[in-house]
Every structure is written in structure tokens, then in C-alpha cells.
């Protein structure tokens, strides 16, 4: 039996620096699954589509995927996923986006969308908790990407800051600029101590470099897509001290998923840059979730379709080896890996400075739990 899978994301266009390795991850894991016969009796036909960060393309791809009767769809952007929500709800095909926007799994129309890991909101709140512990009452600025992706955690972050007794002095949206002097000096003038980023690596690196050049006493932290090897490479030693929250293991750690990633990357001729990319890991995990769900569905219901895969996801508890915790879903739990760690850049590498944990504060401010 052949099962079609499709990923649609930005290999080109905005955010392609994350999208390209992500796509590679999806592709390679799929291949691996076929080679190792991961689901007995099932071959996967994995289609990887570049939607150029354009929602019309995403939608077209998604609809084609439905015609191909994919049991589960791998998505990408925040905008694209938010747009698809009503349709996903209508057709009942599970979707795993790369975007960790909490809005994807908030009502309405949220039944079939599953985040692979903790949300941006949770990551940012975890960082705020960390900051509050380090310097109580700290003044914080939030710098975010000018898109739905960037704005995702703002509301939750404000509420969390209130709870934590720290002050969010400013929220700034910023894409790629050549210079951040104005913003940074103003932060400094207003007594900001920490800058928390929800962005992609490029702008963050530039901000870190400017911050260092200006000799400002600012500490920086950021959510999943801000960090990783890209940041280290672009910012150089300006990255030192950067705090990073993510649910993934890093390429230089000894985790089962990472070992697999290295092996596959080398086997399929990926460049070292890709192999080290956390988004490569990310893509592998997304593909992994899909394939694992298909495996469970096949094993349990004997047939693979959107409905059975959805049922499979509902009871999934898969230790992927890529994330710092198991991927678990349930009726009230649409985040896969519920744990995350805070890491810090030092001498050109990220070192974990916390154990994996889940943020109770996040649950409190977001779900009022």
C-alpha cells in the first residue's frame, strides 16, 4: 500500500532559511522510513512542495493533497495554517505545521491541527520566567518579526510579565534592517535589561552585533526560530550569552534522534550546514510524527486514512529522540513535545542551562488552567 504524504512550505521566499533545511528533514526522514520499512506493508510517497510563503500556493497544495487522500498533511507557515483552519476542520485531515503559533490550536476550527512542539508563547514565557528569576522586576523589550508569526506570543507574554512582576517596556516589530542603532539605544535609554526575540536568525544576529558594537548592556533571548547554528555563524561572538528556548536537541548532543539525523544527513549527502540545522531536526520530527501516526493507525485499525490517523494521533506517545520530551497528543493536548529547555550561547555553541521543563505559567495565562 502506498500512502501519500505532502509537505508544503517556503523553500524560497521569506523564511526560506528555515524552510529549506526543514524540507530536507522531511524528505530524508521519509526516505529513511521507506528504506527501513518503518510501517510494514506501507510505502510512503512524500511530496515536498515549495509554496514560496504564499498562501494561495499552500492552499492549492493542501487541496491537491486531499485529492491524493493524504491521511495527514505537513504544513509550514503561520499565515498559511491560520488560513487553512476552517478548511482543515471541514475535511478533517490532521495537519502538522512548522509554525508553533498557539493560535493554530486555539479554537475555533482547531480539532485537527497539531503542533510538533511547545508553542512560541510557551517558549517566550519560559524565557521570561528565567529572566524574572535572574533579575526580579527586570525591564524587558520584545522584538518580533512583522508578521502573524512574530506577533504570536505578544499577548501571552504581556500577561505572563504581569504575573512575574517584570515590565515589558516596548514591543517592536522588525524585519531585516541594516542597522538597529535607533532601537537599541532607545532601549538602553529606557532602562531595558533584556531583549526577547520572536524572529528569524538574520535580524537577531544583526541586533546582537549592533548591540555589541554600541557597547550596550543588554541581554538577549529568543524563541525557537531565533537560535541555532545560523545565529552563531552570523553573529559570531556577539551571540555570546544569548538565551534560547527550544524543545529540540542540538546537533552536537548525544540523543538518539540526533544520531539518526547525522547518519541520514551524511548518507543522503546533505551539507554540514544542513546537518547542523535545528530545522533539519524539526523537519525530521514532523515527518516522524506523521509516519508514526500512520504506523499506529495501520497497526490498530488496519487501514490508513485521515480518520484513523487522527485517532492514532489522539493516543500518540512517541519518544522521537529529536525533542527533549515525548510527542504526546490527546483531546486537550495538541502540542507534541511538551517540554523545552533554555540554552545559552557560549564560545560558538549553545549549552543547555536548564533541564527540560514545561511552563505552568504559560498554561495559566493562556488556558486559564
Partner 1 sequence: MTYFLQLLVSGVVVGSIYALAALGFVLIYKASRVINFAHGQYIAVGAFTAYALAVFLNMSVWLAGLIALLTTALLGFLTERVFLKPMVGQPIISVIMVTIGLASVIDGLVHLTPFGAGNFSFPAFLPEGGIALGGISVSYPQLLAVGFTALFLLLFGWFFQKSTLGIAMRAVADDQMAAMSLGVSVEKVFALAWAAAGLTAAASGLVVGAISGLNLSALTAIGLKVFPAVILGGLDSIAGAVVGGIIIGVLENLAAGYLDPFVPGGGTRDVFPFVVLLLVLWFKPYGLFGTEEIERV
Partner 2 sequence: MRYPWAQTGNYRTSYRQDTTIFATYWEQLSLWVLIAALLVLPRFLERSQMAVVDLIVIYAIAVLGLNITTGYAGLINIGQAAFMGVGAYTAALVAPYLPFWLTLPVGGLVAAVAGVIVGIPSLRIKHLYLAIATLAFQLIFEWIVGHSPALEQGGAIAMPRVTFLGYAVGFRNHHFFWYYVALVVLVLLAFAFRNLLRTRYGRALVAVRDNDRAADAMGMDPGRTKLFAFGLGAFYAGVAGALFAYWSRAVVIEDYMLSTSIELLAMAIVGGLGTFVGSFLGPAFLVLLDINVETLSEWIKSFGITPAGIDVASGLRPLVFGLVIVLFLIFEPRGLANWWRLLRSYFKNWPFKY
Select the binding partner of residue 236 from partner 2, partner 1, none (C-beta < 5 to 8 A, by kind): partner 1
Select the binding partner of residue 216 from partner 1, partner 2, none (C-beta < 5 to 8 A, by kind): none
- Provide, rounded to whole angstroms, the least separation between the CB of residue 298 and partner 2: 25
Q: Would you give the end-to-end CA distance of the chain in angstroms? A: 43
Select the binding partner of residue 181 from partner 1, partner 2, none (C-beta < 5 to 8 A, by kind): partner 1
- Provide, rounded to whole angstroms, the least separation between the CB of residue 227 and partner 2: 21
Q: Please say which residue, 151 or 220, places its beta carbon nearer to partner 2.
A: 151
Q: What angle do CA 55, 85, 292 make, to 5 degrees?
A: 95
Count of residues in the chain: 369
Confirm if 120 and 153 have CB atoms less than 8 A apart: yes
By rule CB under 8 A, what string of x and - marks binding of each residue 205-234 to partner 1?
xx--x---xxx--------------x--xx
Three-state secondary structure of 204-231: HHHHHHHHHHCCCCCEEEECHHHCCHHH
Residues ≥6 apart with Cβ < 8 Å to 254: none
Q: Please say which residue, 66 or 314, places its beta carbon nearer to partner 2.
A: 66
CA distances from 251 to 17, 56, 261 (A): 17, 34, 8
Query: Stretches 70-78, 87-95, 203-211, 356-364: which one binds partner 1 (CB under 8 A)?
Result: 203-211
Q: What residue ranges bind partner 2 (CB under 8 A)? A: 11-13, 16, 20, 23-24, 47, 49-50, 52-56, 59-60, 63-64, 66-67, 77-80, 82-87, 90-91, 103, 109, 146-148, 151, 173, 268-271, 274
- Provide, rounded to whole angstroms, the least separation between the CB of residue 33 and partner 1: 24
Select the binding partner of residue 323 from partner 2, partner 1, none (C-beta < 5 to 8 A, by kind): none
Select the binding partner of residue 47 from partner 2, partner 1, none (C-beta < 5 to 8 A, by kind): partner 2
The one-character DSSP state at 249 is: P
One DSSP character per residue, 93-133 reads: --EE-S---GGGSSSSS-TTB-BSS--HHHHHHHHHHHHHH
Query: Stretches 71-79, 102-110, 177-185, 328-336: which one binds partner 1 (CB under 8 A)?
Result: 177-185
By CB under 8 A, is residue 348 in contact with partner 1? no
- Provide, rounded to whole angstroms, the least separation between the CB of residue 236 and partner 1: 8
- Provide, rounded to whole angstroms, the least separation between the CB of residue 56 and partner 2: 5
By rule CB under 8 A, what string of x and - marks binding of each residue 37-56 to partner 1?
--------------------
Confirm if 141 and 168 have CB atoms less than 8 A apart: yes
Select the binding partner of residue 4 from partner 2, partner 1, none (C-beta < 5 to 8 A, by kind): none
Confirm if 67 and 43 have CB atoms less than 8 A apart: no
At 194 the three-state DSSP class reads strand
Select the binding partner of residue 230 from partner 2, partner 1, none (C-beta < 5 to 8 A, by kind): partner 1
Q: Tell which positions 269-328 bind partner 1, by CB under 8 A.
A: 271, 273
Select the binding partner of residue 52 from partner 2, partner 1, none (C-beta < 5 to 8 A, by kind): partner 2
- Provide, rounded to whole angstroms, the least separation between the CB of residue 191 and partner 1: 13
By CB under 8 A, is residue 191 in contact with partner 1? no
d(CA 357, CA 122): 11
Cell of 279: 530545522
Confirm if 187 and 131 have CB atoms less than 8 A apart: no
At 338 the three-state DSSP class reads coil
One DSSP character per residue, 131-182 reads: HHHHSTT-EEEEEE-SSHHHHTTHHHHHHHHHHHT-EEEEEEE--S-S--HH
Kindly list the residues in this chain that would bind partner 1 in the complex (CB under 8 A): 11-14, 16-17, 19-21, 146, 151, 170-179, 181-183, 185-186, 189, 201-202, 205-206, 209, 213-215, 230, 233-234, 236, 271, 273
Amino acid at each position: 500500500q502506498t500512502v501519500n504524504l505532502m509537505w508544503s512550505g517556503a523553500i524560497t521566499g521569506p523564511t526560506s532559511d528555515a524552510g529549506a533545511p526543514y524540507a530536507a528533514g522531511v524528505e530524508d526522514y521519509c526516505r529513511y522510513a521507506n528504506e527501513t520499512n518503518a510501517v510494514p506493508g506501507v510505502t510512503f510517497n512524500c511530496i515536498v512542495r515549495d509554496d514560496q510563503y504564499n498562501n494561495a500556493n499552500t492552499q492549492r497544495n493542501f487541496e491537491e493533497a486531499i485529492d491524493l487522500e493524504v491521511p495527514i498533511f505537513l504544513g509550514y507557515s503561520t499565515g498559511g495554517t491560520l488560513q487553512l483552519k476552517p478548511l482543515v476542520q471541514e475535511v478533517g485531515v490532521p495537519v502538522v505545521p512548522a509554525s508553533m503559533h498557539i493560535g493554530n490550536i486555539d479554537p475555533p476550527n482547531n480539532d485537527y491541527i497539531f503542533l510538533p512542539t511547545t508553542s512560541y508563547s510557551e517558549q517566550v514565557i519560559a524565557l521570561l520566567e528565567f529572566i524574572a528569576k535572574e533579575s526580579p522586576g527586570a525591564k524587558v523589550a520584545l522584538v518580533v518579526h512583522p508578521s502573524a508569526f512574530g506577533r504570536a506570543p505578544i499577548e501571552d507574554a504581556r500577561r505572563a510579565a504581569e504575573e512575574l512582576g517584570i515590565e515589558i517596556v516596548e514591543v517592536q516589530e522588525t524585519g531585516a534592517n541594516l542597522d538597529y542603532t535607533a532601537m537599541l539605544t532607545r532601549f538602553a535609554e529606557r532602562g531595558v535589561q533584556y531583549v526577547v526575540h520572536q524572529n528569524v536568525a538574520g535580524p537577531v544576529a544583526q541586533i546582537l552585533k549592533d548591540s555589541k558594537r554600541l557597547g550596550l548592556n543588554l541581554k538577549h533571548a529568543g524563541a525557537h526560530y531565533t537560535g541555532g547554528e545560523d545565529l552563531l555563524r552570523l553573529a559570531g561572538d556577539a551571540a555570546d550569552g544569548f538565551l534560547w528556548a527550544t524543545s529540540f536537541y542540538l546537533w552536537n548532543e548525544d540523543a538518539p534522534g540526533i544520531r539518526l539525523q547525522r547518519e541520514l544527513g551524511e548518507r543522503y549527502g546533505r551539507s554540514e550546514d544542513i546537518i547542523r540545522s535545528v530545522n533539519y531536526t524539526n523537519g525530521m520530527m514532523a515527518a516522524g510524527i506523521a509516519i508514526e501516526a500512520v504506523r499506529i493507525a495501520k497497526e490498530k485499525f488496519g487501514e490508513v486514512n485521515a480518520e484513523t490517523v487522527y485517532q492514532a494521533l489522539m493516543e500518540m506517545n512517541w519518544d522521537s529522540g529529536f525533542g527533549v520530551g515525548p510527542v504526546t497528543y490527546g483531546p486537550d493536548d495538541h502540542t507534541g513535545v511538551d517540554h523545552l529547555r533554555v540554552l545559552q550561547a557560549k564560545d560558538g555553541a549553545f549549552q543547555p542551562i536548564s533541564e527540560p521543563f514545561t511552563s505552568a505559567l504559560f498554561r495559566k495565562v493562556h488556558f486559564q488552567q
